[in-house]
Chain A
């Protein structure tokens, strides 16, 4: 009984230490706090943002592609709708697709990398050759071809395809980490104790790589945003007026944002969203790096 109490007390202490460590890391560079706030802001925007607007956005046909004003901080689009409203309502598709992309990228990449690195031998050869082959296929041209046959009408479909195309790099990196870790003493010991492969991979290897995987996942979110926004910008995906990529396309090719200043707000809106999301992720990854890597701590 005493032992159990001691164990839970130790865990609680460790948790407290962890969070105080996180707080210290965040405090050391205020930019990281900004990153975290931005990240929370995007999560909030994706989850609840559209609820603040009617399903059919207000529009004014007499005020199409107007520059920023008090009423419309980033101006209006080519239908006379508020650009910020479009960015917010469009965030759900963009962020959900990016999240699905990241999850699939990480789950597939980690699974294949771990299995390949831990098993080695024939499985490693087969899986890595397959990974190499996948890595040689250029993503954008393939997506362009796929977009002619697949309409990507839902964010999940979009994320699924992007995820299936993007796991190669993560698999390679996770495999090399696994190869390095499996030679370490604690894995040798686990093997010596006769623990099952599932236990070794699930309880010993994976936790050691979790921070690395989590960082990869965040970076995959940016990759997912860039890819889908790029496809919408190129106009190869079905029209969604509030998708950030479609907004960029409309601003440049229909409203002349690169020719006249009145459409600049329309261009800046989605650009700013993408920029801030990337910034948030970079800053949070920077903080995570230090949190999980004690050697980087300056204290």
Chain B
């Protein structure tokens, strides 16, 4: 009897679970594609906030990029050209040859989910809202991203945005296209009638400009907190309901490409850590998950799940071990070079990021894939810093360090300990530093790993010059300026405001790397890497190439960081329910799966 009761209870549980799982799986709606439920997670946002608004600017909002949140275009992150996009709200665009303007042509049959057409006024309002949150081309204190001086509605389906050529940026068009678009009939009340005058005034100087900037920032706060009563989306989906366990989106029949959107519903599952995502993936529950770090055994298990289809591509980011050169002995280039020879990067990558990274072939400041494009055969002229203990010892000796009883000390005989800092949630970084620590100790260099509560605190403390050594994301492409500003930007003393480059002394103005303002580069003489980096902001690709080479040589010889591994973009998909996934190495892998769906790639399995 007891066994029967247990079986009944289990069956009851199974029924209840099925009842709770929610969402029809074959309830086709819309006109094409085959229907079905598409299950995924938002890798950028652990923890679904059931009370979050459908607001793309809200940090905890329930607007999912590519699904119910739309941008003018979808940035391809091409290896060398930052201004390549897939269509979004915009069907096409014309960028002036000198980057002075971009004319955007909206989807002719683009509609909001409530049936109203998407117009140029919606775009203008959205660009205004973007200005209040200070993003990219709309910063009230313009940095290096260029600034939009005028937004002109040409006709109901065409907008022209002009760049302020006093401080031009080659990625101005990218800043515009990479902007959210929301409906003016829902969000319009947030911008006052004199907003554009205020924005103009804010770009000046004096009390009026300060007041205008304050007003705009105040509007920005309202924008971040705004909660539309109902999700009105121009994307392929609209938000139907959210609970702490999942967010359900249903197909928007008014989407311009609805006939090619296959899944009738999309479900975002909640998760709080990677291990939950691994369990979803090994159970074959997810149709798609973005890059999630996984150890090799877990990855093998995911590969063996029914329908599992892992797609890999380029990810424009690398990680480096960065030095605070205002602290001894890291001010000495031979110490940095010695460490570069001592650390076996292959081993670090194997232990820390076996599936999500490839060991850096050298330190160039550029991800190895675009490095080939930018530097060509010159890549081979860079010193590879292959693991070589003898060379490391020679460099340490050159730096004047002493070896006593098998341990390296500073030149004056005082102890030397490499203190590496890392934010506590970054498991691959911790693993890497633990491995580096072991490698260093085994070769007579004392070392320790110190964790910091979280990433914002880490960034704050590293900027304040509190750490000797820490991990630092570099090579943030594809724009050449973005790549090198991680090495020769604000963190190393150079600030670029409105096209004017200024250098702060180490320990001031966010300069924690503390590198020399001018460095001697073999074959190029003395160069100012910060000024060269600033030049990249407005340079054409052809103009940029020789500058990139000089900067890569500077990074390679001067080693402000030791490039450890280049990230690999690993996307998890499942072919059990849907097909049409992007190819290996496709540029689409750098965009959310919602974009793949809206472009009509994903089809229900027949």
Contact = CB atoms under 8 A, between A and B. Distances in A.
Contact of B297 (A148, A236, A262): A262
A56 B444 CA distance: 11
Contacts of B279: 258-259
Contacts of A252: 275
Interface in A246-264: 250, 252-256, 258-260, 262-263
B427 A254 contact: yes
B527 interface: no
A65 interface: yes
B427 A260 contact: no
Contact of A236 (B278, B282, B424): B424
Contact of A148 (B425, B438, B453): B453
Interface in B444-463: 449-451, 453
B450 A238 contact: yes
Interface in A113-145: none
Contacts of A250: 427
Interface residues of A, number: 27
Nearest to B438: A59
A293 B350 CA distance: 59
Interface string A49-80: 00000001001010011000000000000111
A259 B298 contact: yes
B453 A241 contact: no
B431 A79 contact: yes
Interface string B302-335: 0000000000000000000000000000000000
Nearest to A256: B298
Nearest to A64: B351
Interface in A239-287: 239, 241, 250, 252-256, 258-260, 262-263
Contacts of B274: 253
Which of A65, A259, A260, A262 counts the most B-chain CB atoms under 10 A from its CB? A259
B479 interface: no
A41 interface: no
Given A56-B438, A61-B435, A239-B449, A253 B275 contact: yes
A237 B513 CA distance: 27
A59 B296 CA distance: 18
Contacts of A235: 424-425, 451
A79 B351 contact: yes
A56 B351 contact: no
Contacts of B438: 56, 59, 79
Contact of A260 (B273, B298, B351): B298
Interface string B574-598: 0000000000000000000000000
- The interface residues of chain A, by DSSP majority, are classed as loop
Contact of B347 (A61, A236, A258): A61
B32 interface: no
Given A79-B434, A259-B278, A238 B441 contact: no
B430 interface: yes
B295 interface: yes
B351 A61 contact: yes
A238 B451 CA distance: 5
B297 A79 contact: no
A148 B434 CA distance: 22
B561 interface: no
Contacts of B94: none
B518 interface: no
Interface string B392-431: 0000000000000000000000000000001011010011
A236 B350 CA distance: 26
B90 interface: no
B451 A256 contact: no
Contacts of A80: 351
Given A61-B347, A254-B431, A263 B275 contact: no
Given A79-B431, A235-B425, A239-B430, A256 B450 contact: no
22 contacts: A56-B441, A59-B438, A64-B296, A78-B431, A79-B351, A79-B431, A238-B451, A239-B430, A239-B434, A239-B450, A241-B449, A254-B427, A254-B430, A256-B297, A259-B275, A259-B279, A259-B298, A259-B301, A260-B297, A260-B300, A260-B301, A263-B297
Q: Which 5 A-B pairs have the closest CB atoms?
A: A256-B298, A239-B451, A260-B297, A254-B427, A262-B297
Given A239-B422, A260-B300, A262-B297, 13 more contacts: A61-B347, A61-B351, A65-B297, A238-B451, A239-B450, A252-B275, A253-B274, A255-B295, A256-B278, A259-B275, A259-B278, A259-B298, A260-B298
